[in-house]
Structure 1
Amino acid sequence: MAHLCALKRVESVELDYRQLTLLYRQMGTHGAETVIARASQELDSRLQRCEQLWRMQEAAALRKCARSTIAIAEQIGMEALARVARDVTIAADQGDRVAVAATLARLRRIGQESLRAVWQMRGVSV
Structure 2
Amino acid sequence: MGYSMQDVVKLELREPVRVDPDRLVELCVAMGEMRAEVLITTTMEDLAKGMVEVEDAYLSHDMVTLVHRADALVATANKIGMTTFSRVADDVAVCARDCGGVALAATLNRLRRIADRSLSAVWDMQDLPG
Query: How does the TM-score come out when normalised to structure 1?
Result: 0.91
Return the alpha-carbon distance in structure 2 between the equivalents of residues 95 and 10 of structure 1.
23
Q: CA deviation at 1:6?
A: 3.4
- State the 1:125 CA deviation: 5.2
Q: 14, 17, 23: which is aligned to 1:19?
A: 23
Kept in 2, the 8 Å contact 1:11–1:109? The answer is no
* Aligned-pair CA distance for 1:5: 4.3
Q: How many residues align?
A: 126
Residues 89-110 of structure 1: CA distance to partner in whole angstroms, max 9, x if unpaired? 1111114322111111111111
Match of 2:111 among 107, 110, 113: 107
Q: Residue 13 of structure 2 aligns to a residue in which SS?
A: coil
8 Å contact 1:50–1:66 — kept in the other structure?
yes
Q: Find the counterpart in structure 1 of residue 91 from structure 2.
A: 87
The answer on 1:72 being equivalent to 2:76 is yes
In structure 2, stretches of 5+ residues that fail to align are none
In structure 2, what is the equivalent of residue 2 of structure 1? 4
31-40 or 48-57, larger mean C-alpha shift: 48-57
TM-score w.r.t. length of structure 2? 0.89
More moved, 108-117 vs 41-50: 41-50
CA-atom RMSD in angstroms: 1.6
> What are the Cα deviations for residues 62-114 of structure 1, in whole angstroms up to 9, with x where unaligned?
11110000111000110001001111111111143221111111111111100
Q: Alignment partner of 1:7: what SS?
A: coil
Q: Runs of at least 4 residues of structure 1 off by over 3 A?
A: none
Counterpart amino acid of residue 31 in structure 1: R
**Overall identity of the aligned pairs, in %:** 34
Distance 1:125 1:28, change over 3 A: farther
Point out which structure has higher relative CO (alpha carbons under 8 A, 6+ apart): 1
Between the aligned partners of 2:89 and 2:18, the Cα distance in structure 1 is 16
Larger displacement relative to structure 2 (113-122 or 46-55):
46-55
Give yes or no for the alignment of 1:56 onto 2:60.
Answer: yes
Question: Which of 43, 53, 60 is the matching residue for 2:47?
Answer: 43
Amino acid at match of 1:25: V
